[in-house]
Copies of this chain bind each other. A is one copy, B any other.
């Protein structure tokens, strides 16, 4: 059913936010960007979504200033998508969603565990470190595999994301 992209008569800041990130798959694209995915083909492989959907989502997120397009190769020209500061500010939205899913949907095992890189403590509610009592920006978060993670995967992006890694560290760093 076509509902259009905007929420007519819904000017509240939640509705405005949902106009940008509320379409199907959009928040999973953003999640992957936090995991270090930057390139079209890597998003495609990891998310397994139709090309046209991915292209539209990347364009919407770029126009909304959540992602920034950066040229990383001149010939042939290739671009990657990197989270802007506005995009990084979506971390708490993903965090609260994931926390809700884990606590309130039966049978959900943590696929990934997020810890404060400085001290190794698992982040608490809203991404604060219970040991240091500080809010931890995504740059200082280490992502580790959790009990629910499928380690038997042929998918090269999923394989790269099996090892502990910092959020936002580009996936390509592992491939050099």
Contact = CB atoms under 8 A, between A and B. Distances in A.
A13 B93 contact: no
The residue among A10, A103, A148 with the most chain B CB atoms within 10 A of its own CB is A10
Contacts of A20: 101, 105
Nearest to A148: B11
Contacts of A50: 1, 3
Contact of A18 (B13, B28, B48, B125): B28
Question: Which one of A16, A64, A65, A105 has the greatest number of beta carbons of chain B within 10 Å?
Answer: A16
Contacts of A150: 11
Contact of A10 (B47, B99, B112, B126): B47
Give the 5 A-B CB pairs with smallest separation, nearest first: A17-B101, A13-B101, A13-B102, A14-B98, A92-B96
Given A13-B105, A65-B104, A92-B100, 15 more contacts: A3-B50, A7-B25, A12-B148, A13-B97, A13-B98, A13-B100, A14-B94, A14-B98, A17-B101, A20-B105, A21-B97, A64-B105, A90-B100, A93-B97, A96-B96
Interface of A: 1, 3, 7-18, 20-25, 27-28, 31, 47-50, 52-53, 64-65, 86, 89-90, 92-105, 108, 110-112, 125-126, 148, 150
